[in-house]
Amino acid sequence: MKIALMMENSQAAKNPIILNELTSVADALGHDVFNVGMNSEADHHLTYVHLGIMGAILLNAKAVDFVISGCGTGQGAMMSLNAHPGVFCGYCIDPSDAFLFNQVNNGNALALPFAKGFGWGAELNARYIFEKALTGERGAGYPVERKEPQVRNAGILAELKSALAPESYVDSLKKMDQELVKAAVSGERFQQCLFNHGQDDSIKDYVKSLLA
């Protein structure tokens, strides 16, 4: 699995802590982590609005399979990601949230609060969240006897989101403020992840044209 980690300006100083916990879990599972957001307060400036654009581009281009995001409360990042087609983002504050999101919702992104409640043991909480989010059979249901309706409802939600989206995600991107999108895709590590691993040429070509 390819996993993108993205953090915005208010919590960028915590990126090394979160990256360390995520990679410690992902490496043991054979997953690849791409740190595409801000890695310090001096890095390419991003807000949670940019995170939604970045995450959606990477997921829709199939450059990554999963996105770990967040902001001060985690709420803004979740709302921003869920605004886009093809993104199913959950809000996660503890390991049980991650477990249930994995088992019941089987989404492709998580938003964490990196300021609210970030005290003693915060790095351990993050590690346990990543362990629960990245292990086990996805969509297995919880409790197990609820699997059938849970899988059915997740499928219905995916169909609804697809029906409400334009035919092409590039069409969605073109309707946005182009300076906003350009700012979101201007980070070097983001571009490396997209161009090296993206499988949708139309999305990659659009981003390249925006940066030209």
CATH number, domain of 153, equals 3.40.1400.10
pLDDT, average across residues 168-188: 96
- For residues 186-211, average pLDDT: 97
| pTM, entire model | 0.95
192: CB partners within 8 A, 6+ apart: 34
Q: What is the pLDDT of residue 110?
A: 98
Q: Which domain holds residue 55?
A: 2-211
pLDDT of residue 209: 96
Minimum mean pLDDT range among 42-51, 138-147, 191-200: 138-147
Closest of 174, 165, 166 to residue 209, by C-alpha: 174
Mean per-residue pLDDT for 145-157?
91
Range 73-90 average pLDDT: 97
Determine the Cα angle at 177 with ends 85 and 9, to 5°.
80
> How many structural domains is the chain composed of?
1
- Per the structure block, which two tokens stand in for 211? 């940066």
Residues 6 or more apart in contact with residue 204 via CB below 8 angstroms: 61, 194, 195, 198
- pLDDT for residue 126 is more than 90: yes
Q: At residue 181, does pLDDT exceed 80?
A: yes
Whether pLDDT at 166 is above 80: no
DSSP string, 87-133: --EEE-SSHHHHHHIIIII--SEEEEESSTT--TTHHHHHHHHHHHH
User: Is residue 78 very low, low, confident or very high in pLDDT (cuts 50, 70, 90)?
Assistant: very high
In this predicted structure, the answer to whether residue 141 has a pLDDT above a threshold of 90 is no
* Cβ–Cβ under 8 Å, residues 111 and 69: yes
> In whole numbers, what is the pLDDT of the chain averaged over residues?
95
Distance CA 177, CA 174 (A): 8
Q: Identify the residue whose tokens are 């993206």.
A: 198
What phi and psi values does residue 89 have, to the nearest 5 degrees? -105, 130
Pair of tokens at residue 179: 């300076």
